[in-house]
Amino acid sequence: MAELAKQSSVKLPRGAAPEETAEVRCSFCGGTGKDPFGVMSWLSNCCVCGGKGVVRVKAPYRPCPHCRNTGAVKTFTCTVCRGTGYVPRPAGPTLVCPECRGTGDDRGAPALSCLKCHGLGLVAPGKS
């Protein structure tokens, strides 16, 4: 029996490294696990972390520029980081997005994310 359990635990697909994730405090509710804006009810669970107060994000990560790491744009969950307050840090070299100057905001409508960098505030160099 012990032999069987051992075998099944090493059945990882080859080449596909397990995705790196990290647990961070939920920015949307500030770790309280409760709906920060009382949209449904002040007692209802945060829709981002499901009431846990922590969320898993892809690692490495950086604070989301679009919502200033708050997880919220006005009273909505940030569309860029989905409310976690963190976005994956791109691998390889990056430039500050010339369109939004790194703010991640659409210049005409700050509540919307920048179209060029998708709200990340960074773009890959050499692309235009």
Where does this chain bind Zn ion (CB under 5 A)? 26, 28-29, 46, 48-49, 64, 66-67, 78, 80-81, 97, 99-100, 114, 116-117
Half-sphere exposure at residue 111, Cβ-oriented, CA atoms within 13 angstroms? 5
CB of 74 to Zn ion, least distance (A): 12
Tell me whether residue 8 or residue 115 sits nearer to Zn ion (CB atom).
115
What is the CB neighbour count within 10 angstroms for residue 108? 6
Q: How far is the CB of 20 from Zn ion (least distance, A)?
A: 20
Token code pair at residue 85: 């307050």
Closest contact distance (angstroms) between CB of 91 and Zn ion is 18
Neighbouring CB atoms inside 10 A of 21's CB total 13
